[in-house]
Structure 1
Amino acid sequence: MTASLASVVRRLGRPVTYTRWLHLLMATVAGGLTGFLYGGTFRTGGWETWLRLAMLPVPLVLAAALVPVVRRVEGLQAQLLLTPGPHGPEQRAASGIATTPSARWCDRARTAGWLLLRLETGVAVTALTVQLPALAVAFGMAAAGRPSHLSGLPAIGAPHWWYGLLVPLPLVLLLAVVLGAGSLMARAARLLLGPSAAERLAVLEARTERMLAHNRLAQELHDSIGHALTMTVVQAGAARAAGAPEFTDRALAAIEETGRQALGDLERALRLLREDAPRPADRPLLTEAERLLESARAAGSTVSAELSGPLADLPGPVSREGYRMVQEALTNVLRHAGPVPVSVRIAADGGVLELDVRNPLPAAPAGPGSGGRGLRGIRERATLLGGEARTGPADGTWRVSVRLPLPA
């Protein structure tokens, strides 16, 4: 009992209790404005007036629910006045109350239900807000020995001191009604103004798209930065082992070029993370694969390449992802086998793009499942493009083979 009383006292000290009360009182404005249009609404007084205020605006409320922006206005008002705590963008998004205009008839129907509930509950709470304090005043007057004849309340013609004991009861009842009605409206707002199934699906799809975009960025950074670091390490080690000034100069120049390309890729990825940034330049295409081959040659590998077909006419996504696959395949060669001979074949013919990278097996070849994120990324990219990728030993070599379908 003590805990329940303490909980009620705490709720009475929360600002949201009184913003919810204000929200309910504001609902009577529609009834008041409509009442002025009909003669005699306020003439009789008493409970008949309150009943008219609750019924007269119903057609107007139903018509307003058909206007799409009304749902947005009601949602914003409910977020600000019915939900506790700060009202930043994150808190409003987590309130469970939508602030988008009605897009479907089911949204309009739910908005109509909300407006009717708010009107009737608001008029009832407003009536009690007016009448219950007046009843407490009437009890106080009767306790002081004065008869009371307040409008809308039964007359007290036999005053007595014991009426003083009843003075707190109407006020306690009013506070209980305010607390209960406020909680009811907060729950109803989440039910009637909450996101529809289609809106929740759209939010889920947007969240999934963001996650996929982040995964793509992670893969991009892994491929480009991993390639640059691998090339840098291999070239630096080869230059130190060679001990020749001319080879060292070539290695340093290759390291500089590789680092510059990696910085460009990093800047592209970071710009994608900035929402207000302009659209970044396109990523490298397969027509620029020659720079990957030159980078591998500068690292000490002997690269034999065969490029055929209209690579410049490839669709953008296929060309960009193909470039990354070749890049990762060459990085994988240098990382696990070192500067060994590599054969690269890139061919677009017969509605299929074929990528084939082969190198001699290292002393301790990696198994198909131990290629790390790089080889897994190649297979994922190929699957997303409707193709297939195979990685592993083949005829005494380590082979990365990719087949991607091309649109007619």
Structure 2
Amino acid sequence: MPRLLQPLTRAVTWTRWLHLVVTVILPLVMALVLPGLVDLTPADWLVIVLQPAPLLVLLALAVPAVRTAEGLQARLMLFPGPHARDASGRAGDDQGVSAAPSASWNDRLRTAAWLVLRLEVGCAVALVSNLLAGLCLSLVGAAFGDPGVSSAYRMPGTAWWYGLLAVLDLAVLLAFVTVVGALMARAARALLGPSAKERLARLEERTEQLLERNRIARELHDSIGHALTLAVVQAGAARAAGDARFTEQALAAVEETGRAALEDLERVLLVLRDPERPAGARPGLGEAGRLLESARSSGARVDAEVAGPLDTVPGPVSREGYRMLQEALTNAVRHAGSLPVGVRLAVEGTRLRMEVRNPLPGAGGTAGLRGGGTGIRGIRERAALLGGEASAGPEGGLWVLRVDLPAR
């Protein structure tokens, strides 16, 4: 019984009924002109409910904004929202109903079909509601001793059991309104749902959001991972060295690296808090020297070779190349420790080539490198998005990372 009565406690049941019943206003206004509202025949009633249809079709075909208006009404009145919650107490959503102007003739035709359907179903609901409400009133009157409360339904006598029939009549009316409202909600999804163009736009927006989230995750991984790796290596080296001067140098390197990581973290957090805010300047290959010095300060012996004009590399390639070099140096410091690391950055024609190599630190380190963690995978993804490629693996006792990117 509680489940049967549940629709009666939901506001959406009554807003759906209202959404349908108000459509009779237009037919009644037009009926004042033709055929009038006196001495109506069945043919007159047919004219009343059908004559607004051509006008509605013409309106939907000529005015794209009609779809917006109908979509907003359907969202508000046909589906649970903040004004009506479902059984779990959660607010409903838009249920796939578009609130944008018609973008194609298919949208206009579907809007026209919706308007006609809403008109005819609304007239039917208004008629049935009027008939059953009048009958309920007469039955209640007969149950209390007045069989002539309604001139349309005069009951043959009076009896208490007319009250039971009144309850049954009311239940039929409420069930009718509930079922028709649910069916119209389904029809709204079919006729007012997003077009193929809108679905494609939403999919593109969702894809952009996922790409941005992945980019931010890579940014944090590269920046914070690099800083933490260098800090751990510096701290370990300073403790092992036991030299005050070396310890001071190590702490200065940790401070500089940490400050840069905090700047990156603040920039990313600002973007997350306010998506409309510009992302701010990101480091490029022109600042590669800072990465090399940071790696050297950790105790690694970095031999760097830079060839070609790095300042001519396009901004996106330069910025992503910086992050790739950062990740490669982080891996080298983490796995190779104080072993020599070779770095080569070169602009050759229309290509930017990067190579980072270091001796394999042994079977344990090799296994870790072979695992292909998120860092190496992130480098490959960055390269692929830029139209380049990246490869990493052991070669003759060395671990070699190669990146080839377009420089034009």
TM-score, length basis structure 2:
0.88
Distance 1:247 1:59, change over 3 A: same
Distance 1:291 1:170, change over 3 A: same
Instruction: Give the 4+ runs in structure 1 shifted more than 6 A.
Output: 140-143, 145-149
Report the AA paired with residue 114 of structure 2.
Answer: W
Kindly indicate whether the alpha-carbon contact (under 8 Å) linking 2:80 and 2:92 is maintained by their aligned counterparts in 1: no
Kindly indicate whether the alpha-carbon contact (under 8 Å) linking 1:17 and 1:179 is maintained by their aligned counterparts in 2: yes
Hey, what's the Cα distance between the residues in 2 that align with 1:145 and 1:126? Answer: 26
TM-score, length basis structure 1:
0.88
Give SS of 1:366's match: helix
Show structure 1 runs of 5+ residues with no match: none
Report the AA paired with residue 23 of structure 2.
Answer: A
Give SS of 2:100's match: coil
Count of residue pairs brought into register by the alignment: 397
Partner of 1:113: 113
Matches within 5 A, 1:87-106: 91=91, 93-106=93-106
Distance 1:311 1:52, change over 3 A: same
Report the AA paired with residue 184 of structure 1.
Answer: L
Hey, what's the Cα distance between the residues in 2 that align with 1:47 and 1:20? Answer: 28
Hey, what's the Cα distance between the residues in 1 that align with 2:343 and 2:38? Answer: 94
Partner of 1:404: 405
Kindly indicate whether the alpha-carbon contact (under 8 Å) linking 2:11 and 2:83 is maintained by their aligned counterparts in 1: no
Distance 1:138 1:392, change over 3 A: closer
In the TM superposition, residue 117 of structure 1 has moved relative to its aligned partner by 0.8
Report the AA paired with residue 389 of structure 2.
Answer: E
Hey, what's the Cα distance between the residues in 1 that align with 2:332 and 2:307? Answer: 22
Partner of 2:69: 73
Give SS of 1:73's match: helix
Partner of 1:42: 37
Is 1:134 aligned with 2:129? Answer: no
Partner of 1:59: 54
Per-residue Cα deviation, 1:130-159 (whole angstroms, up to 9, x for no partner): 233334445667886867984xx5x86x94
Distance 1:141 1:310, change over 3 A: same
Distance 1:380 1:369, change over 3 A: farther
Among residues 20, 43, 57, which one is paired with 1:24 in the alignment? Answer: 20
Matches within 5 A, 1:382-401: 382-401=383-402
Hey, what's the Cα distance between the residues in 1 that align with 2:314 and 2:170? Answer: 74
Kindly indicate whether the alpha-carbon contact (under 8 Å) linking 2:137 and 2:150 is maintained by their aligned counterparts in 1: no
Give SS of 2:390's match: strand
RMSD: 2.7
Is 1:83 aligned with 2:79? Answer: yes
In the TM superposition, residue 326 of structure 1 has moved relative to its aligned partner by 0.8
Report the AA paired with residue 19 of structure 1.
Answer: T
In the TM superposition, residue 343 of structure 1 has moved relative to its aligned partner by 1.6
Hey, what's the Cα distance between the residues in 1 that align with 2:341 and 2:380? Answer: 20
Percent of aligned pairs with the same residue? 53
Report the AA paired with residue 56 of structure 2.
Answer: V
Is 1:229 aligned with 2:228? Answer: yes
Distance 1:337 1:149, change over 3 A: closer
Kindly indicate whether the alpha-carbon contact (under 8 Å) linking 2:35 and 2:48 is maintained by their aligned counterparts in 1: no
Hey, what's the Cα distance between the residues in 2 that align with 1:188 and 1:7? Answer: 24
Is 1:366 aligned with 2:361? Answer: no
Report the AA paired with residue 174 of structure 1.
Answer: L
Report the AA paired with residue 95 of structure 1.
Answer: Q
